[in-house]
Structure 1
Amino acid sequence: MKELILIRHAKSSWKDSSLKDFDRPLNKRGEKNAPKMAKILRKLVKTPDLIISSPSKRTKQTLNYFVDEFNYKNKIIFEDSIYEAPYSNILKIIQNINKKYNIVFLIGHNPGLNDLVDFLLENFDENIPTSGLVKINFNVNSWDKIEKNSGNLEFFKYPKMLDI
């Protein structure tokens, strides 16, 4: 079985309008929610075998909270094609993961993550808010076997749902 945990980056700041979107940092709410969601995730899943992240500033900052909470020391891949990506780009990244990895965290952006979850599950019509977590299990032995409606939702959690 393969386990995919999708993490939408925490809330980012629009304070400095001179910054490119890629360079926007987390705002205060993001800095508050990300570590709390990392703690919640730590109670629900084992340490990942691999983390893949968009290289944007806000995803890297979000990633740091999860790395710290899980005391993660394994490989991190910063994948440019996750940033502003359609779900098909993200799906290709997932399908190319080495089969030796069983638990993978992927940190990215909407609408790509939402569209990916809708593709992998049948009728997922929720919006994944900032700091949202989605865990999908796949009854396959290789990531390249993942296809439309092949996933099983284990959980979907986000800060407002948990009164954070």
Structure 2
Amino acid sequence: MKTLYLMRHAKSSWSFDELSDRERPLNDRGRDDAPRMGQALAKRHIVPALFVSSPAVRALSTAVLVARELEYPHDKIVVEPAIYEADLDELLGVIRGLPDAAASVLLTGHNPTVTDVANYLLPKGGLTSEMPTAAILCLHFRADSWAEAGPANAEFYFYDHPRNEN
């Protein structure tokens, strides 16, 4: 079995016109929400075997803040350039190319692609709206290899976001 924690990066700042899209940092809410989601994973006793992130500052910062809450070493986060600006097929390619030694992976990326992948992989209809910032969708795949991950063997486990008051 493989487990994917598909995460949209936390809320980013638009306050710095001089920065490129890739360089945009998290805003105050994002810096609060990312650790909150790490704490939510910790309450479920979840520590993914591998963290993979887009190289964009807002995505990598999200991954680092979540990792910190789970005592996952931030220097072990894999930065995958293909996640940034990936479309549905490209992000599925990243997922299917994950190392099989990692039974569970937290992947931090961007909308609209994160929501597109969630809707593609989710059994029975997908999400009713786009994934909000810092949301996490967890799927189990009945597979021994990430290369086999797809809608036919995906099972919904949970969906959480910072505004969920559970």
Tell me the residue number matched to 2:135. Answer: 132
Query: Could you tell me whether the CA contact under 8 Å between 1:133 and 1:157 is conserved in 2?
Result: yes
Displacement, 1:15? 0.7
Query: Could you tell me whether the CA contact under 8 Å between 1:119 and 1:149 is conserved in 2?
Result: no
Tell me how far apart the structure 2 counterparts of residues 89 and 66 of structure 1 sit (CA, whole Å): 24
Please, which moves more after superposition, 140-149 or 69-78? 69-78
Tell me how far apart the structure 1 counterparts of residues 14 and 149 of structure 2 sit (CA, whole Å): 36
Q: Secondary structure at the match of 1:159?
A: coil
Q: TM-score, normalised by structure 1?
A: 0.93
CA RMSD of aligned residues (A): 1.5
Displacement, 1:45? 4.3
Deviations 1:102-122 (A, max 9, x none): 011100111111111111113
* Alignment gaps of 5+ in structure 2: none
Tell me how far apart the structure 2 counterparts of residues 57 and 17 of structure 1 sit (CA, whole Å): 15
Which letter maps to 1:80? P
Q: Secondary structure at the match of 1:135?
A: strand
Over the matched positions of the two proteins, sequence identity in percent amounts to 36
Displacement, 1:46? 2.6
Change (3 A) 1:45 1:93: farther
Does residue 141 (structure 1) correspond to residue 156 (structure 2)? The answer is: no
Tell me the residue number matched to 1:26. Answer: 26
Tell me how far apart the structure 2 counterparts of residues 66 and 35 of structure 1 sit (CA, whole Å): 5
Tell me how far apart the structure 1 counterparts of residues 23 and 147 of structure 2 sit (CA, whole Å): 32
Displacement, 1:162? 2.2
Tell me how far apart the structure 1 counterparts of residues 91 and 149 of structure 2 sit (CA, whole Å): 12
- Number of residue pairs the alignment of both structures matches: 163
Q: Secondary structure at the match of 1:89?
A: helix
Alignment of 1:6-17 (within 5 A): 6-17=6-17
Tell me how far apart the structure 2 counterparts of residues 82 and 10 of structure 1 sit (CA, whole Å): 15
Tell me the residue number matched to 2:106. Answer: 105
Please, which moves more after superposition, 48-57 or 69-78? 69-78
Query: Could you tell me whether the CA contact under 8 Å between 2:5 and 2:107 is conserved in 1?
Result: yes
Tell me the residue number matched to 2:69. Answer: 69
